Chain A
């Protein structure tokens, strides 16, 4: 009899221990998050400030020359691996031929600019229109990527930026499936990563660590022609607020109802 009792006690103690251990594990993981290099982003969740901001990003398609400086600046600023397949922002080239066919490419995300088109298939006389479209996370008002995350690793800040807690991401990639803009990518094992975590999902934050200090995102700073503009819509005198007031702007895939906050000037109907 005492044997049975002691076994029951043992199981009880084990269950208690397991509960304590899981709490401890949670605490350990939570504390590990604090030591990650990008502390600013990791602590944002409980940050009360910045709710008075209404960030907006404007891309002027007519100005972009496809030099790829923005892509490089982003990689250097955010410690995105230099692998051409891994990017938080990228530039797409659209070539519309006279038969209304649209050819889209983005060799190496456009980081080294764009090589000449293969002349045999696309001679200049056949080209109706050609232009560059820089892309980045749209920081949607209704982000499909946030609602699908099973562990709450990706979330929207009070000032409307979608961030990822990379210490919590399980790497299921469901958010990559759900994002209609292809803005998310999977970070493999790499010597350098934005937050020090690997095998998790990463994406553009509009350089949240910079904009919350009153700076521009790195890509905006790097653009030599002013094709990328950034600002706070609460600031009535700001350039971005003025542009949105005066010019006709478009967003990508408006029919999906995601309400993107990257606004494009001169965006033709060719662009998807």
Chain B
């Protein structure tokens, strides 16, 4: 009997919590306009995914010379951002580094939704997504793609458990799940790098570089994503940069400078080694002459580094500088993932059957899927931000209850 009562109470609570109408009216006109756009983007993406599944992969511009296109690169972008967010979230409640607890819950939530957006972008790129049941029925343990899927599943479970623990302020559980999430993130995402690293046929992919590079740039995108989300949310709420946001921006700025520096060093050596070795010189030369690579390095690495460094000299401007830098980093990495995926396929492995096959330009449906994945992220973030108290700092709450 008590159980029934509990349930009705729970449902009433849930209804009150998920009062969409009130939440909608509580938003400013700007926020409503953005939400409408995000919703339209989501509808567009859903339509594109359905169209590809119904009318077939003819809507994709992938060819047998460039079998992997923007769908794969968008997937990589999102899941690596998810890893990075997992790293950032673990700074506070796993490693116990002071000052990072404030972004822990938001980062874990963002890690979950970027992961979902990543898989949403990947699904239409598979010829037969409905056959994913064979992942379980006939697994192939020598395939890194299989291990990637398996580890992602574990990672996803840990992240959801970590979020629930944070939501319920169960810090012991959150720490345990955080450790599991962190380890499975390192496993899953370096395996994604390994998926490319083991391909001997394509010199740009081959080698131990990719798994390490993926983890490093994942951290970079995680720092950028949490900065962007924290700053824009704070501004949206109160039309000003709260002291908390200034504080966290200062901390994240230092991290960003360090990781950007290391990424530039990685990029330098990748290119230098590529240009040095005669058989790869042509491929690497084409890559660095390409607009995508230049945008990635100048817009996504160089400019943000300068912004983040300059911001140190005048403390007051740290927040806008971080807003710009993190936006540029995310844009640069999005372009960079596409460039990375395409660079490995730039050198055709056989003679061209038709000249137009040598280059890849995303199709309308593919771009709509990308818009949809981004919008899905935005939509879920709006829902989470409204209903799930992402700004909560469970550690402080937990320790205070422990003290009493």
Contacts and interface: CB of A to CB of B under 8 A. Distances in A.
Contacts of A149: 140, 143, 145
Given A107-B354, A150-B143, A186 B349 contact: no
Contacts of B3: 1, 3-4
Contacts of B202: 177
A188 B62 CA distance: 11
A87 B353 contact: yes
A185 interface: yes
A188 B64 CA distance: 11
A156 to B, nearest CB: 12
Contacts of A201: 127
Nearest to A30: B137
B352 A168 contact: no
Contacts of A182: 64-65, 348-350
A174 interface: yes
A256 B201 contact: yes
B401 to A, nearest CB: 29
A106 B351 contact: yes
Contact of B139 (A93, A151, A173, A199): A151
A135 B149 contact: no
B238 interface: no
Interface string A165-178: 00011111110111
Interface stretch (B12-20, B25-33, B128-136): B128-136
Contacts of A3: 3-4
Interface in B101-144: 125-129, 131-140, 142-144
Nearest to A87: B353
A90 interface: yes
A171 B132 CA distance: 10
Interface string B346-389: 00111111100100000000000000000000000000000000
Chain A, interface residues (CB within 8 Å), range: 35 or more
B9 to A, nearest CB: 16
B133 A179 contact: no
A180 B3 CA distance: 63
A84 to B, nearest CB: 6
A182 B83 CA distance: 33
Interface stretch (B192-200, B246-254, B318-326): B192-200
Interface string A69-88: 00000000000000011010
Nearest to A172: B126
B285 interface: no
Contact of A174 (B65, B135, B195, B344): B195
Contacts of A172: 125-127, 145
A169 B128 contact: yes
A172 B352 CA distance: 22
Given A177-B199, A177-B345, A178-B201, A170 B57 contact: no
Interface residues of B, number: 49
B143 A84 contact: no
A25 interface: yes
Interface string A8-31: 000000000000001001100100
Contacts of A170: 126-129, 131-132, 134-135
A150 B146 contact: yes
B132 A93 contact: no
Contact of B56 (A152, A176, A178, A189): A189
Contacts of A106: 350-353
A135 B135 CA distance: 32
Main secondary structure of the interface of B (DSSP, over half): loop
A148 B353 contact: no
A123 B140 CA distance: 52
B57 A186 contact: yes
B209 interface: no
A180 B128 contact: no
B201 A180 contact: yes
Given A169-B131, A178-B201, A84 B354 contact: yes
B58 A176 contact: no
A87 B65 CA distance: 13
Contacts of A147: 142-143
Contact of B126 (A29, A171, A177): A171
A41 interface: no
Instruction: Identify which of B132, B137, B353 gathers the most chain A CB atoms within 10 Å of its CB.
Output: B353
A52 to B, nearest CB: 27
Contacts of B137: 22, 26, 151
Interface string B57-82: 11000111101100000000000000
A50 interface: no
Contact of A108 (B125, B129, B353): B353
Contacts of B146: 150-151
Contacts of A184: 64
Contacts of B127: 169-173, 186, 199-201
Contacts of B352: 104-106
A73 B378 CA distance: 53
Contact of B133 (A22, A144, A176): A22
25 contacts: A22-B137, A26-B133, A90-B353, A106-B353, A149-B145, A150-B135, A151-B135, A151-B137, A151-B138, A151-B146, A152-B134, A152-B138, A153-B138, A169-B128, A169-B131, A171-B57, A173-B127, A177-B68, A177-B344, A178-B198, A182-B348, A189-B56, A189-B57, A199-B128, A200-B127
Interface of A: 1, 3-4, 22, 25-26, 29, 84-85, 87, 90, 92-93, 104-109, 135, 144, 147-153, 168-174, 176-182, 184-186, 188-189, 198-201, 256-257
Given A93-B351, A177-B199, 7 more contacts: A29-B133, A135-B350, A177-B68, A177-B202, A178-B199, A182-B64, A186-B62
Closest 4 CB pairs of A and B: A171-B127, A182-B350, A180-B201, A199-B127
